């Protein structure tokens, strides 16, 4: 679980970040002078219209991309200065991702999908299996461990995605529209699960969403418009 020292301060510090994409001769400013802090143990929702930069911000916090300007510090590490190789190792240690379209490997069963991040650790096969069983139990899918993604419903696939995200007990869980592809009932189940992970297991969660119903489950919601933070609400 997260370092107790980090819990005292901000787990995520985004400071004066700019992100510019170059398309031909055109520069597209996606994020402008953005500053954000996320304390350990918080459930934060990032809201905003399409193109507001919320997914780009999530990518920067998750070490999938680097800012054009500014600093990103997560769990005490300045990740904007890390090399690709260092970033990969850092992500494996600190970040769990949950994607809108689940992004499971269709050729692997649910349990083998959940095991994927553990393949990068030095755990033995038996230890990995134990972790996988625990993660699947946490999302209520122990009975579907041997099933391939194509035989699971959307909600079940997303729960496998969450199990994969938490199996290494990451410092931070990043969710990109986790209910965007689900009906209301399945979406609610996923939100209940995320809320439980935050409240019962102290997991720090940052969730990108369009849906006010989803953002209402978070402890705090920040709005982005055209790459800038425009408002903030604490539930």
Partner 1 sequence: MKFFHLIWGNLNRRKLRTSLTLLSILVAFVLFGFLCAIKQALVGGVELAGVDRLIVRHKVSIIQLLPESYQTRMERIPGVAAAAHQTWFGGIYQDPKNFFMQCPVVPEQFMAMFPEFRLPPEQMKAWLATRTGAIVGRNTADRFKWKVGDKVPIMSPIWLRKTWEFDIVGIFEGEKKGTDTTSMFFRYDYFDEARKAQNWGTGQVGWYTIRVKDPAQAANVAKLVDQEFENSPAETKTEPEGAFAQGFANQVGNIAFIVAGILGAVFFTILLVTGSTMSQAVRERIGELGVLKAIGFTNGQVLGLVLAESCLLTMLGGGLGLALAWLMTARGDPTGGMLPMFFFPVRDVLIGLGLSVALGVITGMLPAQQAMRLRVADALRRM
Q: Which of 7, 167, 37, 170 shows the shortest CA–CA distance to 95?
A: 170
The answer to whether 181 touches 101, Cβ cutoff 8 Å, is: yes
Stretch that binds partner 1, among 33-41, 46-54, 104-112, 209-217 (CB under 8 A): 104-112
For residue 187, the Cα-to-chain-centroid distance in whole angstroms is: 16
Which residue lies nearer to partner 1 by CB, 28 or 105?
105
Write down the least CB distance from residue 108 to partner 1, Å: 6
Given CA atoms 159, 104, 80, 69 in this order, what sign does their dihedral have?
negative
Which residue lies nearer to partner 1 by CB, 10 or 64?
64
Pairing relation of β-strands 26-39 and 204-209?
Answer: unpaired
Write down the least CB distance from residue 235 to partner 1, Å: 29
Applying CB under 8 A, among 10, 20, 82, 116 the residue interacting with partner 1 is: 116
Write down the least CB distance from residue 53 to partner 1, Å: 13
Write down the least CB distance from residue 232 to partner 1, Å: 26
Write down the least CB distance from residue 123 to partner 1, Å: 9
Applying CB under 8 A, among 120, 137, 196, 233 the residue interacting with partner 1 is: 120
Applying CB under 8 A, among 8, 88, 137, 216 the residue interacting with partner 1 is: 88
10 interacts with partner 1 by CB under 8 A:
no
**Alpha helices (runs of H) in the chain, residue ranges in sequence order:** 4-8, 54-61, 84-94, 110-115, 125-138, 154-166, 184-201, 212-215
65 interacts with partner 1 by CB under 8 A:
yes
53 interacts with partner 1 by CB under 8 A:
no
62 interacts with partner 1 by CB under 8 A:
yes
Residue 145: count of CB within 10 angstroms of its CB: 19
| Those residues with Cβ within 8 angstroms of residue 54's Cβ, 6 or more apart along the chain or in another chain | 46, 47, 48, 208, 224
Residue 124: count of CB within 10 angstroms of its CB: 9
Which residue lies nearer to partner 1 by CB, 162 or 217?
162
Applying CB under 8 A, among 4, 50, 106, 234 the residue interacting with partner 1 is: 106
Separation between Cα atoms, residue 109 and residue 164, nearest integer Å:
12
Q: Pull the structure tokens for residue 170.
A: 């990451």
Residues of the shown chain interacting with partner 1 in the complex, contacts defined by CB under 8 A: 59, 62, 64-65, 84-85, 88-89, 91-93, 95, 97, 99, 101, 103, 105-108, 112, 116-117, 119-120, 125, 164
């Amino acid at each position: 679980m997260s370092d107790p020292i980090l819990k005292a301060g901000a787990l995520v510090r985004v400071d004066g970040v700019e992100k510019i994409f170059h398309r031909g001769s055109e520069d597209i400013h996606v994020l402008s002078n953005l500053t954000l802090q996320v304390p350990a143990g918080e459930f934060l929702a990032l809201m905003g219209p399409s193109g507001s930069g919320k997914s780009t911000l999530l990518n920067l916090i998750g070490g999938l991309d680097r800012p054009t300007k500014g600093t990103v510090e997560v769990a005490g590490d300045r990740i904007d200065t890390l090399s690709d190789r260092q970033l990969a190792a850092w992500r494996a240690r600190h970040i769990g991702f949950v994607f809108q379209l689940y992004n499971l490997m269709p050729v692997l069963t649910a349990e083998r999908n959940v095991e994927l991040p553990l393949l990068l650790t030095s755990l033995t096969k038996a230890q990995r299996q134990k972790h996988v069983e625990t993660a699947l139990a946490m999302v209520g899918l122990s009975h579907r461990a041997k099933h391939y993604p194509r035989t699971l419903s959307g909600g079940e696939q997303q729960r496998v995605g969450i199990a994969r995200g938490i199996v290494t007990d990451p410092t931070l869980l990043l969710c990109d529209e986790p209910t965007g592809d689900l009906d209301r009932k399945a979406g609610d189940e996923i939100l209940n699960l995320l809320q439980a992970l935050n409240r019962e297991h102290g997991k720090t969660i940052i969730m990108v969403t369009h849906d006010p119903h989803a953002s209402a489950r978070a402890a705090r919601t920040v709005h982005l418009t055209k790459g800038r933070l425009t408002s903030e609400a604490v539930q």
